[in-house]
Amino acid sequence: MAKEITRREAIKGGLAAGGLMAMGVPGWTIPALAQGETLVEFTDIPENFNPDPNAAVRFLDIRKIDGPFTPKDQFFAIQHYGQPEIDPSTYRLKITGLVDNPGEFSLADLRGKASSELASGYECSGNSRRRVQGLSSNGLWGGIRLSDLLAEVGVRPEGREVVFFGADHGEEDVLFRGQTYKVDQQFGRSISIEDAMKPEPFLAYDLNGDPLTRHQGSPLRLIMPGWYGVANVKWVANIHIQQDRYLGKFQARWYRTLKGEMIDGEMKWKESAISRLRLKSVIARITRTGGQHKVLGFVLNDGTPLRSVEVKVDDGPWQRATMDPSNTKYSWKLFTYDWRGATPGEHTLVSRVTDINGAVQPVQEELETKRTFLEDNSQYARTVNIT
Ligand SMILES: Nc1nc2c(c(=O)[nH]1)N[C@H]1C(S)=C(S)[C@@H](COP(=O)(O)O)O[C@H]1N2
Ligand SMILES: [Mo]
């Protein structure tokens, strides 16, 4: 227990890598700025870019990444109906629908079950260069496996779809054949029973060793490792199991990609729900110590093992970056690259990631048939001015 507490304190306090390693936590080789190390300013930051940590919609200033886990007061936050305040002592998770034992669980009930920790990083599907890729973060979540809870309540064979409703709600105009219906609805997202029964989906009540904050969905949220942000339902109030597809606004309409695909020589226009993270790498920070420059970045993907991350400076060749030992399957994956011989003047740096299946992070032009703006995982060129 003492060890557990020390470890938690270490994660919260961002203890040095060596200390964490001694406690069995994967090492972190990228400390906060070392003595004599300075940040190199990017020249591509939009003028109005000013991340406000106190805002309800909060984005991370990725130049400040200095450890594997995003501190809870910097973790990005997106929500559509504001942030409900839920009293953890009266909170009840309701499980309804096609289950043998529908029922309610208090937070104490949930905390009493076998718990585990899971590193999971993700981005909002709307993340892009516009917000300097700051709609992304990486957390160490504490909680229980969804599949364990579903096994406990017993999903009936006809239960095919698992719907998660948040406590947050708002009035929506639902358009149907020219007619508008006004309803007050809860935020909702669904997954198939096959996905729900995999070992990964997680109901989290802790972040980085502390109870979830209101920003991140206190007292309980869903974590879908390897999926875009929208799947990670915050303030979960009700899990409902049904037979049919759930077509709520945030499942079927608002979070959707329209993309043309050549199939057997014919263009097929497909609209698909936002689900698994597309392969993306981002250069987040460049530092200088004397004449030495170091590039730091991260990769987000669906958990498929990676083959390589490479960095290109100006018109030079692609050069391999080094992966950080703190990386795990569903965490964001940090990388560094030693930029040698940087000359004074403007430079462009870009990264690209390739997974073991040979999928390569696309360039912008390859996403031409994607008409809607979500799921932009194109290579992200950064510019700096070396003085
Ligand atoms: N209940 C609820 N959960 C939600 C949302 C919401 O509006 N309501 N927004 C989703 C979206 S679009 C994103 S990107 C992620 C962001 O998670 P975070 O705020 O913990 O970073 O929360 C998801 N979960
Ligand atoms: Mo999102």
Six-digit token pair at 341?
């011989």
Band (29; pLDDT cuts 50, 70, 90): low
Backbone angles phi, psi at 62, to 5 degrees: -65, -15
- What pLDDT, on the 0 to 100 scale, is given for residue 1? 36
Q: What percent of the chain has pLDDT over 90?
A: 87
Is it the case that residue 26 has pLDDT exceeding 70? no
H or E element at residue 214: none
- What pLDDT, on the 0 to 100 scale, is given for residue 16? 43
Name the nearest CA neighbour of 174 among 253, 256, 231: 253
- What pLDDT, on the 0 to 100 scale, is given for residue 4? 44
83-93 per-position pLDDT tens digit: 999 999 999 99
202-211 per-position pLDDT tens digit: 999 999 999 9
The residue type at 246: Y
Is it the case that residue 274 has pLDDT exceeding 70? yes
120 three-state secondary structure: strand
User: What average pLDDT does the chain have?
Assistant: 93
| Ligand 1 pocket at CB < 6 A | 75-80, 124, 137, 166, 168, 187, 216, 229-230, 232-235
Is it the case that residue 340 has pLDDT exceeding 70? yes
Say if CB 43 and CB 386 are below 8 A apart.
no
Average pLDDT over residues 198-205: 98
Which atom of ligand 1 is closest in space to residue 137's alpha carbon? 21
Say if CB 378 and CB 361 are below 8 A apart.
yes
Residues 6+ apart with CB under 8 A from 108: none
49 vs 369: which has the higher pLDDT:
369
98-146 per-position pLDDT tens digit: 999 999 999 999 999 999 999 999 999 999 999 999 999 999 999 999 9
322-335 per-position pLDDT tens digit: 999 999 999 999 99
Is it the case that residue 263 has pLDDT exceeding 80? yes
Band (27; pLDDT cuts 50, 70, 90): low
- What pLDDT, on the 0 to 100 scale, is given for residue 185? 97
Is it the case that residue 282 has pLDDT exceeding 50? yes
- What pLDDT, on the 0 to 100 scale, is given for residue 6? 46
- What pLDDT, on the 0 to 100 scale, is given for residue 36? 86
Identify the residue whose C-alpha is closest to ligand 1 atom 21.
77
Question: What is the residue-wise DSSP string for 268-297?
Answer: EEEEEE--BPPPEEEEEEEEEETTEEEEEE
Which atom of ligand 1 is closest in space to residue 79's alpha carbon? 7
Which atom of ligand 1 is closest in space to residue 255's alpha carbon? 12
Six-digit token pair at 335?
């990388």
